Amino acid sequence: MITEQTEFIESALQSVKECNDRHEGVQLKREQPSEQAQFLEEMGLMFENVGMPRMAGRVFGWLLISNPPLQSSGELVDVLQASKGSISTMTRLLIQIGLIERVSLAGDRRDYFQIKPNAWTQLTQQQMVRVTAFRKLAERGLELLTDSDVELQQRLQEMWKIHAFWERELPQIHQRWEQEQMM
């Protein structure tokens, strides 16, 4: 596992160097390139820990730190040392989730990708919808167990309580966030 991570990091560093040599706009901190490769790996692991593909995290991580912010599929393939198919699949996934967007430039046949503006706000709003859906599902489960003993109902009651709490609180938190952004 560590050998694979080391090989990935070394490969990513070589790709970044080649990409920098070829594409002046892609700028990494040359004094500490291993930190950026490590950042990509950590972002990949973070995504993997929440049930998403590691490569989706690497793509997302690169789009967070790349300069210019618009990156073509080819640039993502080169920097991340991934196949075109993998990059295509991961960018579609990240678009579907709402974290990135596809951009086309006049006169250029390539598609570019960038972090979607307000992506985190939109994800939070989507999470609020999911919280409500889970609360409603817990209610349906409790209706099924109305004649059951309390111990059987306890798991669903816990599910209902936490989701009812977040359903009440998240809109207020989101509103405070929006107010802070206006300051």
Q: Is the same domain home to 44 and 134?
A: no
Residue 10: pLDDT band (50, 70, 90) is low
Which of 78, 73, 74 is CA-nearest to residue 28? Answer: 78
Q: What pLDDT sits at residue 26? A: 42
Q: Is the same domain home to 83 and 169?
A: no
The token pair at 170 is 């998240």
149: domain CATH number is: 1.10.287
Q: What pLDDT sits at residue 25? A: 41
Q: Is 112 helix (H, G, I), strand (E, B) or coil?
A: strand
Q: Is the same domain home to 64 and 148?
A: no
Residue 150: pLDDT band (50, 70, 90) is confident
Q: Is the same domain home to 76 and 163?
A: no
Q: Is the same domain home to 15 and 103?
A: yes
- What percentage of residues in the chain have a pLDDT greater than 90? 69
Q: Is the same domain home to 95 and 131?
A: no
The token pair at 139 is 């209610």
pTM: 0.71
Q: Quote the number of domains for the chain.
A: 2
First-to-last alpha carbon distance for the chain, in angstroms, is: 46
Q: Is the same domain home to 52 and 135?
A: no
Total residue count of the chain as it appears in this document? 183
Which of 69, 96, 115 is a domain's end point?
115
Q: What is the pLDDT of residues 41-98, one digit of tens each?
A: 999 999 999 999 999 999 999 999 999 999 999 999 999 999 999 999 999 999 999 9
CB 142 within 8 A of CB 156: yes
28: domain CATH number is: 1.10.10.10
Q: What pLDDT sits at residue 122? A: 86
Q: What pLDDT sits at residue 34? A: 83
- Identify the residue whose tokens are 């692991």: 45
CB 150 within 8 A of CB 136: no
Q: Is the same domain home to 101 and 36?
A: yes
Residue 175: pLDDT band (50, 70, 90) is very high
Q: Is the same domain home to 99 and 20?
A: yes
The token pair at 141 is 């489960």
Q: What pLDDT sits at residue 17? A: 52
Q: Is the same domain home to 24 and 109?
A: yes
Long-range contacts of 136-140 (CB under 8 A, 24+ apart): 138/163
Domain range for residue 140?
A: 119-182
Residue 123: pLDDT band (50, 70, 90) is confident
